[in-house]
A and B are shown apart, each in its own frame.
Chain A
């Protein structure tokens, strides 16, 4: 169910989210000419940036001149709606954003913030990338990642299952198996 713009071209939205963090390096690189051109070449029509506590302001664009339409906001109570209507999500490496996107079955590029101290976030992004559930990049390598990306090769993320943990807890406490 895709929306079409005035020219009947289906709307394909790239949604960028940094959660509650400040990740200027990522917003800057996504707002750069080369990345926007690359996304447009890949068939995306709109770029929506959720910039969180960032200080770098992207440039809005209506996209009338045959380029990506760009819009941005800081925070929203319904990030989920933005994700739902996106064809591609680019996200910081927060586990909340990652799993929210994966559960919706949206293609995802996770960008790790190298300025964070003790970057354990990258462990999760890299592990999920190894398992082919998402693509992982750094701000400097994002352009190349988008150039090379083959979203068809991504595997769906299996549904979460808390039953093994619950079974062990019940067993330890002596409750009978269900």
Chain B
């Protein structure tokens, strides 16, 4: 009885490992030949420079390909969604998008506030993760763009989980902040080491040398 359970457990773990490796090393199989008119896009915003950098990227992105767009920011971050709204409104003014094509704006609970004790952080991280499950299930993004704030970790983790389980493929693009010259941020380190990002971008050549799977894309600010 115990022997059977053990074999079953080993089989499950091995299958899971094979599946994860397949996802990580054969990403291209899931993308090629599936180019549609447009891809639903989740854009994760963060306070300060993060949102400014992201908007610089979005200005150049072909809006018609990355739509509908959904912006997510931390619940305690008031400025970022406002800046995103201003950006989307300016697109309508410049006729870069169809009138009626609306972007969505949502908030997610923070895993941990600056200075919060690590003990209570466990609880808030669980809540943030549950909220992330709800958001990813609701938004169903095909593309995720993020650049560093801690807010992106639960969302990217859930999206990655969905890939493993085969529910939904979201291509995750991570652009490390321009303020990171010699060392990656914690979010960047996690997404890089765990191979969760489909493409990982850095803005300084030193980082690309240290993290060879990253792409050096120059400065976005």
From A24-32, A35-43, A170-178, give the one contacting chain B. Answer: A170-178
Bound Cα distance A14, B218 (Å): 31
Nearest chain B residue, comparing its CB with the CB of A124: B179
Is B180 close to A, CB under 8 A?
Answer: yes
CB pair B62 A178 closer than 8 Å: yes
Q: Is the CB of A127 within 8 A of B181?
A: yes
Main secondary structure of the interface of A (DSSP, over half): helix
* Interface-facing stretch out of B30-38, B98-106, B159-167: B30-38
CB <8 Å contact, A169 and B61: yes
- A4 within 8 Å of B (CB atoms): no
Q: Find out whether the CB atom of B201 lies under 8 angstroms from the CB atom of A162.
A: no
Which chain A positions have C-beta within 8 A of B143?
A: 173
Within 8 A of B (CB), among A115-138: 120-121, 123-124, 126-127
Q: Does B217 lie within 8 Å of A164, measured CB to CB?
A: yes
Partner of A175, one of B65, B173, B175, B179: B65
Is A168 interfacial (CB 8 A cutoff)? yes
The reply to whether B220 and A162 contact each other, CB–CB distance below 8 Å, is yes
Contacting residues of chain B (56-87) with chain A, CB-CB under 8 angstroms: 56-57, 59-62, 65
Tell me if A121 and B35 are in contact (CB < 8 A).
Answer: no
What are the residues of chain A within 8 A of B49 when measuring CB–CB? Answer: 94-96, 99
A120-B183, A170-B62 known; A96+B35 contact, CB < 8 A: no
Interface presence of A152 (CB below 8 A): no
Q: Is the CB of A165 within 8 A of B221?
A: no
CB-defined contacts of B171 to chain A, threshold 8 Å: 172-173
Please give me the residue from chain B that is nearest to A103 by CB atom.
Answer: B221
Please give me the residue from chain A that is nearest to B206 by CB atom: A127
Which residues on A are within 8 Å of B, measured CB to CB?
94-96, 99, 120-121, 123-124, 126-127, 158, 160-166, 168-170, 172-175, 178
